Amino acid sequence: IQLTQSPSFLSASVGDRVTITCRASQGISSYLAWYQQKPGKAPKVLIYTASTLQSGVPSRFSGRGSGTEFTLTISSLQPEDFATYYCQQLSSYPRSFGQGTKLEIK
């Protein structure tokens, strides 16, 4: 299953609302997770099962979707949110990741 994220790069300002899209090449129900990765660090899970917020993750992060189209929204960007974001499907093996979306400060 191929996952395609858009955009690949996103420039935004603190306080902006941003949305990242992840499209699957075939239906994966709601078996999708979102991760955040900062330079030199391991990825950190934000959202699982498409829309469930991982414990400890700020509520400004939200996820939606099912089937083949999913979104990650950050309602009001904070300085610590500038990072790279990946979606991952867990419907079947191989457990593929999207190519990533790098969120940069405008």
Partner 1 sequence: EVQLVESGGGLVKPGGSLRISCAASGFTFMSYSMNWVRQSPGKGLEWVASISASSSYIYYADSVKGRFTISRDNAKNSLYLEMTSLRAEDTAEYYCARDHYLLGSGNWFDYWGQGTQVTVSS
Whether 32 contacts 87, CB under 8 Å: yes
For residue 33, how many C-alpha atoms fall within 13 Å in the half-sphere facing its CB?
14
Among 15-23, 58-66, 68-76, 90-98, the segment contacting partner 1 (CB under 8 A): 90-98
Q: Which of 77, 57, 65, 58 is nearest to 28 (CA)?
A: 65
Cβ count near 38 (within 10 Å): 13
26-45 residues near partner 1, rule: CB under 8 A: 30-31, 33, 35, 37, 41-45
DSSP state letter for 82: -
Contact with partner 1 (CB under 8 A) among 61, 70, 82, 86: 86
Cβ count near 12 (within 10 Å): 16
For residue 52, the minimal CB distance to partner 1 (Å) is 7
For residue 37, the minimal CB distance to partner 1 (Å) is 8
Q: Which is nearer to partner 1, 12 or 53 (CB)?
A: 53
Token representation of residue 47: 């959202």
Residues that bind partner 1 (CB under 8 A): 30-31, 33, 35, 37, 41-45, 48-49, 52, 54, 86, 88, 90-91, 93-100
